């Protein structure tokens, strides 16, 4: 049995290769992976001894060869494929462990040059992964280092015999196509970022971050998926019940609301994605009291967001109000101790959003789904750097008010407040 190992992320690769060698597998490898395995004492057959051709063009061409892809794509029970292997002297490859050049990490660096980014577009790696995944009935394909232990355990248990164990083989193959799809989406996004505002094609690559308590209603299942960009993926839950879909909608609205004041202390009280009140203050506690004063009734069962660290005084101020979620960039230890006295209160740490996320960048866009489609629109943008209220209303205790009942960032340029009624005990929003 022959295994081909060629990885950029070398976590666990030496241990994986050792385990394969102990099971009698021949190890073929390339470049830096081969060097790492040789240094660790693992017997390795260099790829150029398989292809009969050296690596060329600074490693751009090394595995794009019939001796590699023929060995991956040959169907073991297909007479024509077996005859072709014999005719051309190709040895079948029965396992591939490949992960790709770190393109997303490279382009995330602020100082990266275009030429550097282009060199991190992997060609041979995705080709080998796709060949192996297409022929997964005969070839085991591993793109994630976290899967190495499961593969070794299955091999030892005899659960990965060719053609007889579709479960794990198919799962690994599906993971490969998800991996390469996300990789291609990142490349497309990078190359198209300075092009048309609304490209003809938009590819979304989302990673599941967590399952949720329930969806929009308690009988619905839900999960949180996120892009690679900073934002909701950085959420850390410090206390409380599992989050629901509705909680996350309100958290997103609340954090976006307070992000407009990066240099001042702001607090937003959000219910059903609509602000009950948004206010500034000299301290988080004062900002909270002012925001709450805008509409104390609707604030029952709300989500409260701060754009600065929440301290003990702010936590004490929230003691008497039933709140679903409190979110802030960080929480002081004594504030967290107070908030943890409420068993079901969800306490969320989420890094501050950049001003671009709040709408000052034209690159930011809001998306919403409909049946079989997505709508995309530019986010609200601050006009001339100042606020102008859509509706003049009397201020209450210094709280900021605006138009009634409109979603933040939808059509009103100001914070808004809405008056509601206390939800009945046991309502879905209170779970």
* Cβ atoms of residues 352 and 333 within 8 Å: no
* Cβ atoms of residues 120 and 101 within 8 Å: yes
The full DSSP string for 128-194 is HHHHHHHTTTT-EEE--GGGHHHHHHHHHTT---TTT-HHHHHHHHHHHHHHHHHHHHHHHHHHHTT
- Cα separation, 324 vs 331, in Å, equals 17
What does the DSSP 8-state code read for residue 218?
Answer: T
Q: At what angle do helices 124-134 and 66-73 cross, to 10 degrees?
A: 30
In sequence order, the 6+-apart residues with CB closer than 8 A to the CB of 47 are 4, 6, 28, 29, 30, 34, 55, 62, 63, 68
* Cβ atoms of residues 293 and 397 within 8 Å: yes
Q: Which of 188, 239, 241, 272 is catalytic?
A: 272
Q: Which of 10, 134, 239, 241 is catalytic?
A: 134
Is 272 one of the annotated active-site residues of the chain? yes
The residues carrying an active-site annotation are 134, 272
């Amino acid at each position: 049995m022959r295994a081909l190992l060629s990885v950029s992320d070398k976590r666990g690769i030496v241990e994986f290769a050792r385990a394969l060698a102990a099971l009698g597998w021949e190890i073929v490898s390339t470049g830096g992976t081969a060097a790492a395995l040789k240094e660790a004492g693992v017997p390795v057959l260099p790829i150029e001894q398989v292809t009969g051709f050296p690596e060329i063009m600074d490693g751009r061409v090394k595995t794009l060869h019939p001796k590699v892809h023929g060995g991956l794509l040959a169907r073991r029970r297909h007479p024509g494929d077996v005859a072709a292997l014999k005719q051309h002297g190709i040895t079948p490859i029965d396992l591939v462990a490949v992960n790709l050049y770190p393109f997303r990490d490279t382009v995330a660096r602020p100082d990266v040059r275009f030429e550097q980014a282009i060199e991190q577009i992997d060609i041979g790696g995705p080709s080998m992964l796709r060949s192996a995944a297409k022929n997964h009935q005969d070839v085991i394909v591993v793109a994630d280092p976290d899967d190495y232990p499961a593969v070794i355990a299955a091999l030892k248990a005899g659960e990965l015999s060719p053609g007889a164990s579709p479960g794990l083989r198919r799962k690994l193959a599906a993971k490969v196509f998800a991996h390469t799809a996300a990789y291609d989406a990142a490349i497309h996004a990078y190359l198209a970022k300075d092009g048309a505002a609304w490209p003809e094609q938009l590819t979304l690559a989302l990673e599941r971050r967590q399952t949720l308590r329930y969806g929009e209603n308690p009988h619905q299942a839900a999960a949180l998926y996120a892009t690679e960009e900073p934002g909701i993926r950085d959420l850390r839950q410090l206390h409380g019940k599992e989050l629901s879909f509705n909680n996350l909608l309100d958290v997103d609205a609340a954090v976006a609301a307070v992000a407009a004041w990066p240099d001042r202390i702001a607090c937003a009280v959000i219910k059903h994605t609509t602000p009950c009140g948004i206010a500034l203050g000299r301290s988080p506690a004062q900002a909270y009291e002012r925001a709450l004063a805008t509409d104390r009734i609707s604030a029952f069962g709300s989500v409260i967001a701060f754009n600065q660290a929440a301290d003990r005084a702010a936590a004490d101020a929230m003691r008497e109000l039933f709140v679903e979620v409190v979110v802030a960039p960080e929480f002081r230890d004594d504030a967290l101790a107070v908030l943890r006295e409420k068993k079901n209160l969800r306490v969320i740490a989420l890094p501050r959003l950049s001003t671009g996320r709040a709408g000052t960048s034209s690159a930011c866009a809001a998306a919403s789904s409909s049946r079989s489609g997505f709508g995309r629109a530019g986010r609200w943008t601050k006009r001339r750097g100042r606020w102008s209220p859509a509706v003049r209303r009397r201020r209450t205790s210094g709280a900021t008010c605006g138009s009634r009942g409109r979603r933040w960032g939808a059509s009103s340029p100001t914070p808004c407040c809405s008056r509601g009624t206390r939800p009945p005990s046991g309502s879905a929003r209170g779970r």
